[in-house]
Copies of this chain bind each other. A is one copy, B any other.
């Protein structure tokens, strides 16, 4: 499985980052608007430190970045990271489509 410029460890982090509903929701919210860490934390029934850890996981997966503004850290979508994640998911999807299409052809012959 050839993947564009991403090591296994990076792919691990990407999928791991998305393997949690809270983190997926954070990514969705951050795509739709601008949030500070504490702004995000206010939206979830967990401690500030827990949300901070989730944001850290997303940072390590290059899905978000943080930018200091006064005492706040603004969480933003990481454009390049998102593009790379997109291409990775695209490749998986293409590989899976190819295989699924072959299975469909074989089944059609039957």
Contacts and interface: CB of A to CB of B under 8 A. Distances in A.
A15 B12 contact: no
Interface in A15-52: 15-16, 18-21, 24-25, 28, 31
Within the oligomer, what is the number of copies of this chain? 2
A92 B31 CA distance: 12
Interface residues on A, range: 20 to 34
A19 B21 contact: no
A98 to B, nearest CB: 9
A14 B20 CA distance: 10
B79 A86 contact: no
Contacts of A103: 77, 79
Interface of A: 1, 8, 11-16, 18-21, 24-25, 28, 31, 77, 79, 82-83, 85-86, 89-90, 92-93, 95-97, 99-100, 103
